[in-house]
Homo-oligomer: A and B are copies of this chain.
């Protein structure tokens, strides 16, 4: 059995965790701290320039666990769906350019004015199906990330691993899963659905659920500061054969985003070794 307390090489830093930083700062901070992998959001990759971002990351010898994020498929009309598909194809190209091991997709919510949840589900399926040929040609695996049900209306109408696993069953090769503890920890079906996911798990994300949670979007906790049984969920994920990085992704407008990013990195490293 692996000694988790010493296994710091598995830590990856998601750029959302150190939101004030540019890609250049993130790369420099990780290299300086001995962190071997990053998970950038598209905004900082685009700000750096996609080709330059790839060169920078390769020169630093960093792995890219995933590119965050694309998806957001449902739209009120055909033009909206086409625009979403075009943007998703660009995201695949960006992921390929920086050598990302997967592109994270979130479903998208209800189109404005719509109450048709089943229709939105169908649009998500059809959108991923339309994106898939380009992703396969580009060698970029798509990682469907179910988001917490509190985001069903406005961000993502795929909210359980069961639903995401169903989509993988339907869509076939080239589609897998992003598992983020924040979104799935509450699910009574978690153990069964992670086992069912098996080799589909492409990327694994951690943070913590705070009590109280003061904001639906921007009040995630540092691993260890909340109620999620991180070691148990990690054990479930690793029992599937997953041996990739563990990506710390924290949205925290009132706390972690206000701190010095270098301090945040140091604490991520500590927590990775003690509680993740």
Contacts and interface: CB of A to CB of B under 8 A. Distances in A.
Interface residues of A, number: 32
A153 B153 CA distance: 21
A229 interface: yes
B228 A149 contact: no
Interface in A171-226: 185-189, 209, 211-213, 216, 226
Contacts of A186: 117, 149, 152-153, 157, 159
20 contacts: A115-B229, A148-B149, A148-B150, A149-B149, A149-B186, A150-B150, A152-B185, A152-B186, A153-B209, A153-B211, A153-B226, A153-B227, A154-B211, A157-B186, A159-B187, A159-B188, A160-B188, A163-B188, A213-B216, A216-B216
A272 interface: no
A159 B229 CA distance: 18
Q: How many chain copies does the complex carry?
A: 2
Interface of A: 109-110, 114-117, 121, 148-150, 152-154, 157, 159-160, 162-163, 185-189, 209, 211-213, 216, 226-229
Contacts of A115: 227-229
Nearest to A209: B153
Q: From DSSP, what is the main secondary structure of chain A's interface residues? A: loop
Contacts of A160: 188
A227 B109 CA distance: 11
Given A110-B227, A150-B150, A162-B188, 14 more contacts: A114-B227, A115-B227, A115-B228, A115-B229, A117-B185, A117-B229, A148-B149, A148-B150, A149-B149, A149-B150, A150-B216, A153-B211, A154-B212, A212-B216
A18 B216 CA distance: 25
Contacts of A185: 117, 152
Nearest to A112: B211
A109 to B, nearest CB: 8
Contacts of A109: 211
A187 B163 CA distance: 10
